[in-house]
Amino acid sequence: MPAVAYLNKHGVPLAQPSPMFSSRFPVLCLHRDHLQRALYGACLDPASGPPVEFLPGVSVERYEADPNKGVRVYLSNNTCLESDVLVAADGIHSTIRRQFVEHVTSKHCGYVYFRATLNVEEHSVGLAPFSSAFESWGDGQRFGYVPLQAPDVFWFASIPAAEQTGPDGMATSIIDEATKQHLLRLFEGWSGQAQDGAQIVNLQRLILSSPASSILRTPIRKVPDVEKFPWQGNRGRVILLGDSAHAVAPNLAQGAGLAIEDALVLATNLSRVVRGEASLEAAARYYELARKPRAKTVQSMADLVATVGHIRGPLALARNYFMLASHKLAPTVQSLIFERAVSMSLGGDSNNLYWSPPVPKGTVDAEALTRALERSCLLGRVLGATFSELPSHVRKFRAASEGEGVGIVSVE
Ligand SMILES: Cc1cc2nc3c(=O)[nH]c(=O)nc-3n(C[C@H](O)[C@H](O)[C@H](O)COP(=O)(O)OP(=O)(O)OC[C@H]3O[C@@H](n4cnc5c(N)ncnc54)[C@H](O)[C@@H]3O)c2cc1C
């Protein structure tokens, strides 16, 4: 992702990170369809491990768990599966969550997203696909633009609105021509800007170029207070993962990322059970403890972005004035605060800029990896054992098997 910026509706930056943002935060934006195909392909690949069985068109109706024996999962095709553990990744309206924490339900956040992907080579919108990533704030509305794999880009518009289901009763619906005209009116005169400030894009053209049949409308919901209810029950036999545990508003584009992180942390803990190093109950509890603060941080920050971005009237003017002034008067301080916030939202801490997966014991020997890295690059050969003390983003960049990048490393 190119350096992301917050702009006013005329394309003027209100907050911006340093030009080094992309190299410091190597965020990959990809279309959901590409991700799902990659995951599906890996599940079918015999080299990935034991085969995964898919049951299309079948849903889980309920479960029975015995802490000492295992779980029985009852399916809509009148069959029952028996297992040691049930990992429920069944989304924001999770059937399994409702069975063991009945009182937890999702809540409408008070706004609606309209979104589409667009091939910007076919539809000239005046912006090279990879030249920019931004979110623009107006008087109550937000508009976002993110490049995917070129030439596709993703845009969204977030508008305060009551919840409303589509004609088929589904939460997400395809919009009609009248709604598209309404969007065009709302964003009349809005502009975005390329990272170097050179190209200006008329945001209306993005909407105009997207057929109504490609624009989705989704009322935004979340699972509130994600840290306040159990994510696992029956002594670790039933475990929630992804949106079923912690659906967050999409304002930081992190929901699916959180689900993937959950899976890595859970897998690492379950492998400890398999090796006899931990009980199932302890592993599930550890997973829950490790993941709750991370999900809570993303939820709070995502809610904050929506609150500030949806401000209307004189307060919106005051917000823009304050942000613009800090951008002009103290750009370095502002970009430091900006990057600190991004780092927090990506799971960074005092040692790391962003979240990194746990290294499963037995699969990767971290010391051997560091030793190999020491030998594989100039910095490693010069620094020897102290190579491991470099910031993790520098080490990771060296670890990439291919690719290129530009950056500055000061080694004292
Ligand atoms: C408008 C919008 C934009 C978003 N943008 C981003 C973004 O840019 N980046 C990002 O990382 N995240 C984004 N998200 C969030 C992301 O979509 C979710 O966090 C992510 O899909 C969660 O994955 P999941 O597997 O936990 O749940 P889901 O993707 O909801 O998958 C749950 C699955 O379980 C199935 N299921 C449900 N009930 C049952 C049952 N009883 N039996 C069997 N199967 C069942 C469903 O059919 C579904 O396939 C966005 C969300 C929205 C609404």
Q: What is the CATH number of the domain that holds 70?
A: 3.50.50.60
Mutate which of 28, 90, 163, 354 for ligand 1? The one with the most ligand atoms within 8 Å of its CB, which is 90
Mutate which of 243, 305, 345, 354 for ligand 1? The one with the most ligand atoms within 8 Å of its CB, which is 243
Is 356 a domain residue? no
Choose the final residue of a domain: 222, 244, 274.
Answer: 222
Separation of CA 91 and ligand 1 centre (Å): 5
Indicate the pLDDT class of residue 402, thresholds 50, 70 and 90: very low
Indicate the pLDDT class of residue 234, thresholds 50, 70 and 90: very high
Q: Answer yes or no: do 196 and 294 share one domain.
A: no
Which of 88-92, 198-202, 300-304, 340-344 bottoms out in mean pLDDT, i.e. has the lowest? 198-202
If one counts the domains in the chain, the total is: 3
Choose the final residue of a domain: 222, 240, 256.
Answer: 222
Nearest-CA residue for ligand 1 atom 41 is 60
Is 242 a domain residue? yes
pLDDT at 364: 45
pTM for the whole structure: 0.86
Q: What is the mean pLDDT of the chain?
A: 87
Indicate the pLDDT class of residue 35, thresholds 50, 70 and 90: very high
Tell me the per-residue pLDDT of 343-399, one tens digit each, with 9 for 90 and over.
Answer: 999 999 877 899 988 865 554 455 555 566 556 667 777 777 677 677 777 766 665
Is 332 a domain residue? no
Question: Which residue range(s) make up the domain with 243?
Answer: 32-105+226-303
Q: Answer yes or no: do 79 and 101 share one domain.
A: yes
Indicate the pLDDT class of residue 176, thresholds 50, 70 and 90: very high
Q: Answer yes or no: do 96 and 192 share one domain.
A: no
Q: Answer yes or no: do 75 and 176 share one domain.
A: no
Separation of CA 297 and ligand 1 centre (Å): 19
Separation of CA 43 and ligand 1 centre (Å): 18
Nearest-CA residue for ligand 1 atom 43 is 59
Is 191 a domain residue? yes
Check whether 407 has a pLDDT greater than 80: no
Tell me the per-residue pLDDT of 61-120, one tens digit each, with 9 for 90 and over.
Answer: 999 999 999 999 999 999 999 999 999 999 999 999 999 898 999 999 999 999 999 988
Check whether 400 has a pLDDT greater than 60: no
Check whether 13 has a pLDDT greater than 60: yes
Burial annotation 354-381 (CB, 10 A radius, 16+ → b, else e): bbeeeeeeeeeeeeeeebebbeeeebbe
In this structure, what token pair is assigned to residue 222?
Answer: 């979340």
Is 311 a domain residue? no
- Ligand 1 first shell, C-beta below 6 A: 59-60, 89-91, 95, 113, 115, 218, 242-243, 250, 253-257, 259
Q: Answer yes or no: do 19 and 116 share one domain.
A: yes
Which of 98-112, 145-159, 215-229, 388-402 bottoms out in mean pLDDT, i.e. has the lowest? 388-402
Q: Answer yes or no: do 22 and 113 share one domain.
A: yes
Separation of CA 384 and ligand 1 centre (Å): 45
Choose the final residue of a domain: 187, 222, 257.
Answer: 222
pLDDT at 23: 85
Q: What percent of the chain has pLDDT over 90?
A: 64
Q: Answer yes or no: do 287 and 230 share one domain.
A: yes
- In ligand 1, the atom with minimum distance to the C-alpha of 257 is 11
Separation of CA 379 and ligand 1 centre (Å): 42
Q: Answer yes or no: do 13 and 85 share one domain.
A: no
Separation of CA 373 and ligand 1 centre (Å): 37
Nearest-CA residue for ligand 1 atom 49 is 90
Is 350 a domain residue? no
Q: Answer yes or no: do 203 and 130 share one domain.
A: yes
Q: Answer yes or no: do 26 and 141 share one domain.
A: yes
